[in-house]
Amino acid sequence: MENVHILTQRLTTRGDYLPFNAEQYINHEPQFAHRLVEKLQTTLDIEELLNIYSEHAERITKLSGLQFHTALGAFELQGSDKQYTPFSFELDLNGEYLGKLVYFCQYQLSAAIKQKLQSIHQVLIYPLRNALMYQRVLQLATKDSLTGLYNRSQFNDSLAQRIENGRRHQRKFSLMLLDLDNFKQVNDNFGHKAGDEVLIEFSNILKASIRTTESVYRFGGDEFAILIDDPEFVTNKLIAERIMHSVGHCKLMSKYGVTTSIGFTLAEGADCEENIFARADKGLYKAKAAGRNCARAI
C-alpha cells in the first residue's frame, strides 16, 4: 500500500486542524499582516480588494469562493464556486456595520481557522470601509436618487464606450428609449408622491425585464433608456414585449392608467452618439403616433 501524506497539522493547545501551509502564516503572522495592509491600500475597488484579501486568506484555509454583501449590493471574487458550504462573518468598524463576508469552503472551518480569519478581518475592514465610502460617492455621481438607475451622465459615457467597442471588436448593440404614457396626469391629479411611486415601479419592471448584460438609465421625468447587446432585433422585441406585458399586468400602473411607448434602433458601423439616439427617438415618436402602448423600430 502506498504511503499517504495528510497535509494538515494538529494544534496541540486546541485539538483543531489547520492546512499545512498555515504553519508559515502562523510563524510569520505580523509580516503577512503588514504585507496585506500594503496591498489593500493600493485600490478602492471592492472586487479587487476581495481578490487581494483572498490570496492571504488562502494561507489559512482553502477557499472555493468569496462574497461581500453590503447595502450597496453583493460583490464577488471572480471565479467563485458557490456549490460548497457558506460560512458568514459580520464585519463592523466602531459600531458601523459594513456588511457580511461569506466564504465558500469544501470542508468545515474549525474554531482555530475561524479565529485566524477573524484576526485578518481587522486588517481588511479599514480598506473596505474606505472602498464603500468611495462607492457611495460614485453612485451619487452616476445614479438617479429616486430609482437607483444610472443617470443621463452615465448613459452618455456608456453609449460612447459601446460605440467605440463596436468599432474595435465588431460588437453590435441597440438602444431602446421608453417613456410613460399619461404620466403627467398622475402628477396633476394625484400628486408627485403618486408619480414617484409610478416611476419606482416602472424602474423595477425595467430591471426585471433585462439580462445582466443590459443597462437601464433614467434621463429625468418619465424618460428611460436601455443599452442592449444584440446583433439583431430579436432581443429588443423580446424585452419590449416583456416590459409592456409587465406594465399591463401591474396593479399600480393600471390604477393610474399608465402604459409605456418604446422606440429602438440597432447601432450601425458609422454611428455617432447623436445619430443612434436620433433614430431611437424617432422610433419612440412613431410609437406615440401609433396610439401609444406599443414599440416601434427604426
Asked whether 56 and 32 are in contact (CB, 8 A), the reply is: yes
State the Cα–Cα distance between residues 132 and 129, nearest whole angstrom: 5
Asked whether 115 and 11 are in contact (CB, 8 A), the reply is: no
29, pLDDT greater than 70: no
* Ranges of H-type helices in the chain: 22-27, 29-40, 46-57, 111-142, 152-169, 183-190, 192-209, 234-248, 251-256, 273-289
Here the cell at position 227 is 443599452
Query: Is 32 or 111 the better-scoring residue by pLDDT?
Result: 111
| C-alpha torsion angle, residues 131, 136, 138, 140 (rounded to 10) | -170
Nearest CA to 295 among 247, 230, 244? 244
Arithmetic mean of pLDDT, 260-265: 96
Per-residue buried b or exposed e for 126-160, using 16+ beta carbons within 10 Å of the residue's own CB? ebbbebbeebeeeeeebbbeebebbbeebbeebbe
State the Cα–Cα distance between residues 108 and 235, nearest whole angstrom: 44
- DSSP one-letter code for 237: H
Arithmetic mean of pLDDT, 252-279: 93
Arithmetic mean of pLDDT, 85-92: 93
Mean pLDDT across the chain, nearest whole number? 86
Q: Encode pLDDT of 173-193 as tens digits.
A: 999 999 999 999 999 999 999
Residue holding cell 452616476?
A: 142
248, pLDDT greater than 50: yes
State the Cα–Cα distance between residues 157 and 273, nearest whole angstrom: 10
Query: Is 145 or 101 the better-scoring residue by pLDDT?
Result: 101
State the Cα–Cα distance between residues 25 and 27, nearest whole angstrom: 6
Q: How far is CA 200 from CA 127, 136, 147, 178, in A?
A: 33, 20, 5, 14
Confidence of residue 59 (pLDDT cuts 50, 70, 90): confident
Confidence of residue 30 (pLDDT cuts 50, 70, 90): low
The secondary structure of 9-71 as a DSSP string is EE-TTT--EEETTHHHHHHTHHHHHHHHHHHHTT---HHHHHHHHHHHHTTTS--SEEEEEET
Here the cell at position 266 is 440597432
Least confident of 160-169, 181-190, 262-271, 281-290: 160-169
Q: How far is CA 293 from CA 87, 206, 257, 282, in A?
A: 48, 15, 11, 15
Regarding beta strands 85-93 and 215-220, do their DSSP bridges make them parallel or antiparallel, or are they unpaired? unpaired
pLDDT at 141: 82
Arithmetic mean of pLDDT, 210-215: 87
Here the cell at position 191 is 400628486
Q: Encode pLDDT of 230-240 as tens digits.
A: 777 788 899 99
Which of the residues are catalytic? Answer: 222
pTM: predicted TM-score of the whole model, two decimal places: 0.60
Sign of CA dihedral 250, 255, 256, 257: positive
293, pLDDT greater than 50: yes
Report the run of H or E that residue 182 belongs to, with start and end: none
Degrees (nearest 5) of the Cα angle 229, 231, 237? 75
Highest mean pLDDT range out of 139-143, 161-165, 200-204, 267-271? Answer: 200-204
In order of start, what are the domains of the chain with their CATH numbers? 8-142 (3.30.450.40), 152-297 (3.30.70.270)
Arithmetic mean of pLDDT, 31-35: 75
Percent pLDDT > 90 in the chain is 58
